[in-house]
Each structure stands twice: as C-alpha cells, then as structure tokens.
Amino acid sequence: MSVVPSTRPLIPAARLCGIVVLPGDKSISHRYAMLAALAGGRTTLHHYAPGRDCRSTLDCLAALGAGVDHEAEAVRIEGRGIGRLTAPVDPLDAGNSGSTMRMLAGILAGHPFRSVLDGDRSLRQRPMRRIADPLTRMGARIETREGRAPLVIDGGPLRAITFEPEVPSAQVKTAVLLAGLHAEGDTTVIEPAPTRDHTERALAAFGAPPSIDGRRVTVRGGQALVTPHDLVVPGDASSAAFWAVGAAVFPGSEVELQGVGLNPGRLAFLDVLRAAGARVSVAPVGEQRAEPVGRITVSAGPLTAVRVSPRDVPALIDELPVLALLGIFGAGFRVDGAAELRTKEADRIAALAAGLRALGARIEEWADGFEVTPSRLRGGSADAAGDHRLAMTFALAALGAEAPSQLVGAEAVAVSYPGFFDDLRRLTDAAA
C-alpha cells in the first residue's frame, strides 16, 4: 500500500503532563497471534496492538487459513495446529513489518507448500539473509532478491539445528525457534547478546516452554501447542518511551504511563533516563501470563550527558532515536556500536540526523553511531522518512522548538501507535 505523505504542523509546548494508557505491545501481539494460529483451538487476544504492523500479521495468518476475527482491540484466532496452515493464493504482504516477515518465514519454512512473502519499499530494503541462511540449513528452500524481499519459500520437513546468529536479533531468534517447533529434534539458538525474550515467554503461555540456559534457548520440535483461550497483551514499552523521554527533557513535566509491559528486556531506556538525571519510578501491578505489567512515572530533573556503549545497544535498539532528545535538551547524548540502526524501517542514523538538523539540532553521525550536543531548536520541517519511530521522535523534539515546525510523513505513526497525536494533544493541553 502506498500512502501519500501528510504534513502535520507541530506547535511548541513547554511540557508534558498527564496519564497515558499505552496501546498493546507490538512485539508481543505478533508472537501471540502467530502462536495462536499454530495452536489447535480458539484464542482471544485482548488489547491487541492497534498499529498497521500487527494488522499485517493478522492478514497474513488469515491468508494462511487461520480464522481471524478482529473487533476493536479483541482478536479471536482459530488456530490450525503446527504445520497445518494452508497454502496462500496470493503473495503474503507484510507491509512495513520486519517482524511479520522474519518470524512468519520461520513458520512457513516448516509448511510443505510454496509461499511468497513481500512488503513495502522500506521492507524490501531490509536484510533477510539473516533468516534465510538458518532456515535453509534446517531444510527449507528460500529464494531472495540478493538477500532481500520478496522471499519465495518452499517449506517442508525440517531438521533441528544449533544456530549462533552474527547479530543480536529477537526476530532472527524467533524465526529459528518457530521453525524449530516444526522440526524433528531440539533446535537451539545461542545469542551473541541477550535480546527481548517475548517468544520464550509466549511459548510458555502456549504450553511449550523452551529450555533456557544463559544465552542458549532450545525448543522441542514436534510438540503440540496448548490453546491458552484468553491472553492480554500488555501496553507497549517502546511507545511508552516517547512520553518517558518527553517528560524527562521538558522541565516541569510529569507523565504517568499505565498498563505498560515491564519485561526487563524492554526497559533499558529507563536506566538511561535515570543515568541522565530524570526521576523515574516503576510500580508493578501484576503479571499477564508471564509478562509483567505496571505503571511508570517520569518527571524532569537536571540532566547530565549520557553515553551508550555498544554493549548496551541491543536492549535499547528501538529507543535510541528518541533518546537523542536527551542530547538536544539535556547535556549531550552519544551512542556507538549501533550500525543495526541503519537496517531498520529507515536508516535510523542518517534520517534521524537529517530530521533533527532540519529542526536546528547539532548532531554528528558516523558509520555506527551519532552524537547530539545541546542545541536551541529554531524549528523547521522534519521528514519522518516513512519511519514511525522517527515521526514520533521529531514530533516530540518540535515541542521544544522556538517556532512551529512541520512533520512530513506524520501518518507513519499508524504503524505502531495510531493514537499518538491524540495522546500528544492531551498531554500538552493538560500541561498548558
């Protein structure tokens, strides 16, 4: 689907105040939907992520024969059982969603039919060899266009492997583990660095807990999943990060983020905010089937410079663009070892630097990192480059500009957070 970029005015605001109930987590929604399609019965997913990416996953699963009934935020999925999805008539469209394409490829590798997985212009640029290689080792035939989509997958009987990915990636880990469910024997992924563990937790919720030993995760092939009936998706921690950073950098702000997933693998950005001097409190309020949930409150404090080292990058990968605001409005922000940012929905180093510079920020970039120094923003026109997280980052940055700005491609927020601008308006109105 091609969308004409819409330009949105961005009006400066002194601070952010109020309460936000976060939309359902994107990462967890994809996984629950895919596992529900592989389970035998009917699963109802509550608070399913409302963004376009998770809709792409549902559309692909429906095209593969799963029953999908989507009403507001509840999604009912009638699963077919492991290896029982049916051949799609048309190419499957993952849209803008790397998670949909990579994780679904793991499932399709174990199905005895040909399928074609394609996506939008951005997704067609992103590296797919990282999943094609291990899935080929397991016995699938996968054709790519020089390592990129469209993918033509001829699945079939798979053998278990032990796989050590070169880059830390939860999507790659998940693709191999999902293929492993369809394989004979035990499939192990040994991660180079820890990545989010939602797949491991989701597998447990579907009655197939993997065994975990440090960075080794092993699934047993050939087991059936158990339908959990009802699952509640926690609020998206990466979406919460926008408000948390906004509250940290604009003096006088305070936001309370409710119903947020508190999986420790997703909250490293709070450590960065604390290190910078923001006031952060976290109150767990329970656990929704293996995923902890709670409330996060953030208010501004005097900020100091922060530096993210390569070791900390995997746990911050989706939050690094918005954390750059600590550099503009605080005392500086630098990250190294983050070349992966260049392989996301956009080149998130080049497009971040271009957009922030257009607003007046001082930012320097190099192959695997960037540094932002404190800047007075005069305002300007920032281009989201089709990337949802850059759109939200620029929208927040523009609040602190001296004059109104413009956001080109504002509609990209719909990929993960369709209600972003409504929440932004509420938080700035409440603070006025």
- Which residues have a catalytic role annotated? 318
SS3 state of residue 31: helix
Residue 3: count other Cβ atoms within 10 Å of its Cβ.
Answer: 13
Instruction: Report the residue number, 13 or 177, with the smaller CB distance to ligand S3P.
Output: 177
Query: Rounded distance, CA 228 to CA 404, Å?
Result: 49
User: Does 317 engage in binding with ligand S3P (CB under 6 A)?
Assistant: yes
Of 84-113, binders to ligand S3P (CB under 6 A) are 99
Query: Rounded distance, CA 326 to CA 72, Å?
Result: 36
**x/- map, 16-45, ligand S3P, by CB under 6 A:** -----------x------------------
User: Does 239 engage in binding with ligand S3P (CB under 6 A)?
Assistant: no
171, 188, 227, 253: which one contacts ligand S3P (CB under 6 A)? 171
Instruction: Report the residue number, 196 or 201, with the smaller CB distance to ligand S3P.
Output: 196
- Give the nearest distance from C-beta 317 to ligand S3P in angstroms: 5
Torsion of CA 295, 54, 62, 172, to 10 degrees: -100
Query: Rounded distance, CA 139 to CA 176, Å?
Result: 12
Q: Which residue has the tokens 């972003």?
A: 420
Instruction: Report the residue number, 8 or 26, with the smaller CB distance to ligand S3P.
Output: 26
> Of the listed pieces 154-162, 166-174, 184-192, 249-257, which binds ligand S3P according to CB under 6 A?
166-174
Query: Rounded distance, CA 174 to CA 163, Å?
Result: 12
| Size of the residue set binding ligand S3P (CB under 6 A) | 10
> Of the listed pieces 148-156, 170-178, 256-264, 331-339, which binds ligand S3P according to CB under 6 A?
170-178
Q: Where are the alpha helices (DSSP H) in 360-414?
A: 388-399
Q: Could you check whether the bond before residue 157 is cis, i.e. omega within 30 degrees of 0?
A: no
User: Does 169 engage in binding with ligand S3P (CB under 6 A)?
Assistant: yes
Query: Rounded distance, CA 366 to CA 281, Å?
Result: 34
Instruction: Report the residue number, 34 or 75, with the smaller CB distance to ligand S3P.
Output: 34
User: Does 346 engage in binding with ligand S3P (CB under 6 A)?
Assistant: no
Of 365-394, binders to ligand S3P (CB under 6 A) are none
- Give the nearest distance from C-beta 28 to ligand S3P in angstroms: 8
120, 200, 318, 387: which one contacts ligand S3P (CB under 6 A)? 318
> Of the listed pieces 148-156, 167-175, 248-256, 292-300, which binds ligand S3P according to CB under 6 A?
167-175
> Of the listed pieces 42-50, 171-179, 211-219, 287-295, which binds ligand S3P according to CB under 6 A?
171-179
Q: Are 394 and 328 in contact (CB under 8 A)?
A: no
Q: Which helix (H) or strand (E) holds 158?
A: strand 158-159
- Give the nearest distance from C-beta 193 to ligand S3P in angstroms: 10
Q: Which helix (H) or strand (E) holds 108?
A: helix 98-108
Query: Rounded distance, CA 298 to CA 301, Å?
Result: 9
Q: Which two tokens stand for residue 3?
A: 């969308």
* Distance (Å) of CA 46 to CA 22, 41, 208, 229: 13, 16, 21, 11
Closest to 112 measured CA to CA, from 155, 160, 159 = 155
**x/- map, 54-83, ligand S3P, by CB under 6 A:** ------------------------------
Instruction: Report the residue number, 82 or 316, with the smaller CB distance to ligand S3P.
Output: 316
Q: In the complex, which residues of this chain contact ligand S3P (CB under 6 A)?
A: 27, 99, 169-172, 174, 196, 317-318
